Amino acid sequence: MNQNKNTDKNEDVNNQVEDENTTSVNNDDTQSNESTSIDEKDSSKNEEDLDNNEIDSQDEIKDLKDQLLRTLAENENLRKRTAKEIEQVKKYGHISLLRDFLNVVDNMERAVKSVTSENQSETGVKNLIDGIEIVLKEMKSLLDKNQIKKIEPLHEKFDYNFHQAMFEAPSSDYEEGFIIEVIQPGYVLYDRLIRPAMVGVSKGEMVEKEKKEEKEKKDE
């Protein structure tokens, strides 16, 4: 009888141990599963963070490229503007000095024209005029060499871009708007006006009158 009781006790103990072992195994499996799930979540989160970081890096690289391209474009535009300004200064920077120089040329030409044939017969005057003409020739050669062109628009159509009208007068030779006298020549440097030509312009009244008279004669 006692032997049976002992056997039952032993079985109970064994069953209890097995239950505890099973519980322990189940707990271990649960913990293992939970750990695996946590690891998977951490891994997924890390991959997501890496993807986000990669996207951010790509955006930063794109922004840097855009900034670099803009900087290069701005530098190129600045270089072109600077080169153009330097060229403009080289071509037109001395215009004010040229105007003063042209005034000297005008005065020398007037001096030559003011001398009459009687005065030229005098040896001293003739030598002076010859000297002035030599200097004038050298000055005009210097102007041509530096792309400074003279404007002498006699008998041409008046152009307000290059001419300055000083007076208007009737003319039997030219229609209205044509230049009948050049008071002072003008000059251009390359394509820029240094000084307009001062001119007298025809009103054309006498021409129109003559045409009218000719028409009346034909009608008769």
162 and 86 housed in the same domain: no
83 and 140 housed in the same domain: no
Encode pLDDT of 120-129 as tens digits.
667 677 888 8
Rounded to an integer, the average pLDDT of 48-67 is 75
70 and 130 housed in the same domain: no
Task: Return d(Cα 137, Cα 126) in angstroms, integer.
Answer: 16
88 and 99 housed in the same domain: no
Please name the residue that has the structure tokens 């007037």.
110
Residue 46 has pLDDT above 70, yes or no: no
pLDDT band with cut points at 50, 70 and 90 for residue 25: very low
134 and 178 housed in the same domain: no
3 and 87 housed in the same domain: yes
Q: Which of 146, 161, 177 is the last residue of a domain?
A: 146
Among candidates 194, 169, 164, which has minimal Cα distance to 182? 164
48 and 17 housed in the same domain: yes
pLDDT band with cut points at 50, 70 and 90 for residue 2: very low
Encode pLDDT of 63-115 as tens digits.
888 888 898 888 889 888 888 877 777 777 788 888 899 999 999 888 888 87
Residue with the larger pLDDT of the pair 8 and 60 = 60
Q: Which of 51, 68, 92 is the last residue of a domain?
A: 92
Q: Which of 92, 116, 137 is the last residue of a domain?
A: 92
Domain that holds residue 115: 94-146
pLDDT band with cut points at 50, 70 and 90 for residue 19: low
Residue with the larger pLDDT of the pair 171 and 8 = 171
Residue 60 has pLDDT above 90, yes or no: no
Please report the DSSP string for the chain in residue order.
-HHHHHHHHHHHHHHHHHHHHHHHHHHHHHHHHHHHHHHHHHHHHHHHHHHHHHHHHHHHHHHHHHHHHHHHHHHHHHHHHHHHHHHHHHHHTTHHHHHHHHHHHHHHHHHHHH--HHHHTSHHHHHHHHHHHHHHHHHHHHHHHTTEEEE--TTSBP-TTTEEEEEEE--SSS-TTBEEEEEE-EEEETTEEEEPEEEEEE--HHHHHHHHHHHHHHH-
200 and 170 housed in the same domain: yes
199 and 161 housed in the same domain: yes
114 and 169 housed in the same domain: no
Return the half-sphere exposure (C-beta side, CA atoms, 13 A cut-off) of residue 37: 6
163 and 190 housed in the same domain: yes
CATH code: domain of residue 153: 2.30.22.10
20 and 49 housed in the same domain: yes
How many domains does the chain divide into? 3
